[in-house]
Amino acid sequence: MLFNEKNRKNTNQGAMRVFRNSKYRYLFWILLLILLCISLFYYKFSFVGIYSNDIPILTTCTFSKTFNYSMNERESINCQLSNKESGNFFCEQDGLWNRRKQIYHIQRQRNEMKTKNNLFFSTNYEPTFHCSFERRFGAIGDGGKWICDSYRFDTKSTCLIYSFGSNNDFTFEIDLKDSLPNCDIHTFDLNKYECPDQICTFHQLKLGNGIDKHTKTLGMIMDELDHAKYELDILKIDIEGGEYSVFPSMFNDKIYPRQIQVEIHHKNVKATHELFDLFAENGYVIFHKEPNLLNTKIFEFALLRLNQQFFNLTNHDTCN
């Protein structure tokens, strides 16, 4: 017994001498830091897994058709104003709709801070509109986009979606097709890729102003695909800075997608303010904003088009 106590004491003293050695002490802290990083990494991806496609209850969830109001229901809740000013997209009481309008005008006035540093999008262009049932489609991180009240497209006789900029990531299209099987999805990229079976149709081309070499405007593309007669419901654009040349020609051609999901790369203050002014002039409100964690000059924006009457705030537009 005495021998064991003596050995234990010698062992403890030896361990203390090793720990006092600066070389071993640094090694100890390095190993502890590595273990901490591994633990955080495991925790992060275990948590992310909750939202992955491995959990069918989330990815295959569909909204009840009770959200799709009939004409009688529209009349009973007195939603003529929201129905008119949203182009039949929303149906809610006039008082709530007028509150949305007031919030839009308040936030719109605050949205241009004239910041000139790398934090431009952190102080400019916050959402001006709220969608009660917005949902993110696609991969976590880069590639996923937010859609406003996607269930509203369920009852449309035709549903058309364009996705520009693939980089061989089709998680956005796969998620949309799962939720909106009636939608016709077309994906475009300068490089050659292949859409998953029965998900989308792939086109190898470059979206632009139609003047620069090898570029086509959105109007040219819709004409070639015989889609000019249809409403473009969702337009997703992720073309690494090329977005600045796309929208002027698109609006000149009188093409107004119901929703726009776009990754915007801040070039300079003047150009970025002009782009957002162009959105507002053509009836678009911002309903979601998401940062790119790898680059503070890049943000994801989701926009929804409303009728021009929405932007006319009068003294009668009170929140009852």
**Pairing relation of β-strands 298-305 and 259-265?**
antiparallel
Same domain? For 127 and 248 the reply is: yes
Lookup result for tokens 């924006």: 301
Side chain identity at residue 203, one-letter code: H
Q: Find out whether 282 and 126 touch, Cβ atoms under 8 Å.
A: no
Give CA–CA dist 317/62, Å, rounded: 34
Q: Is residue 169 part of a domain?
A: yes
Q: Find out whether 311 and 284 touch, Cβ atoms under 8 Å.
A: no
CB atoms within 10 A of CB 59: 15
Same domain? For 238 and 283 the reply is: yes
Q: For the segment 280-301, what is each residue's pLDDT rounded down to a tens digit?
A: 999 999 999 998 888 888 889 9
Same domain? For 152 and 23 the reply is: no
Whole-model pTM: value is 0.69
Same domain? For 160 and 307 the reply is: yes
Q: Find out whether 263 and 297 touch, Cβ atoms under 8 Å.
A: no
Q: Find out whether 135 and 150 touch, Cβ atoms under 8 Å.
A: yes
Q: Is residue 145 part of a domain?
A: yes
Label residues 89-98 b or e (16+ Cβ within 10 Å = b). Answer: bbbbebeebb
Q: Is residue 255 part of a domain?
A: yes
Using alpha carbons only, give the angle 8, 13, 14 rounded to the nearest 5 degrees.
95
**Pairing relation of β-strands 206-207 and 215-216?**
parallel
Q: Find out whether 134 and 288 touch, Cβ atoms under 8 Å.
A: yes
Question: Which residue, 138, 157, 135, 155, is CA-closest to 146?
Answer: 135
Q: Find out whether 164 and 238 touch, Cβ atoms under 8 Å.
A: yes
Full pLDDT tens readout for the chain, 320 residues: 544 555 555 555 555 565 566 666 777 778 878 877 776 555 444 433 333 333 333 333 333 333 444 444 455 567 888 888 888 888 888 888 887 777 777 666 666 555 555 566 567 789 999 998 899 999 887 778 999 999 999 888 899 999 999 889 999 999 999 999 999 999 999 999 999 999 999 999 999 888 888 889 999 999 999 999 999 999 999 998 889 999 999 999 999 999 999 999 988 888 989 999 999 999 999 999 998 888 888 889 999 999 999 998 775 455 44
Same domain? For 137 and 194 the reply is: yes
For every residue of 246-286, DSSP letters joined together read HHHHHHHTT---SEEEEEEE---HHHHHHHHHHHHHTTEEE
Whole domain around residue 195: which residue ranges?
71-311
Same domain? For 140 and 287 the reply is: yes
Give the list of residues 6+ apart from residue 44 with CB closer than 8 angstroms, or none: none
Give the DSSP H/E element, type plus range, for residue 185. Answer: strand 184-189
Q: Find out whether 277 and 231 touch, Cβ atoms under 8 Å.
A: no
Same domain? For 30 and 125 the reply is: no
Total number of domains constituting the chain: 2
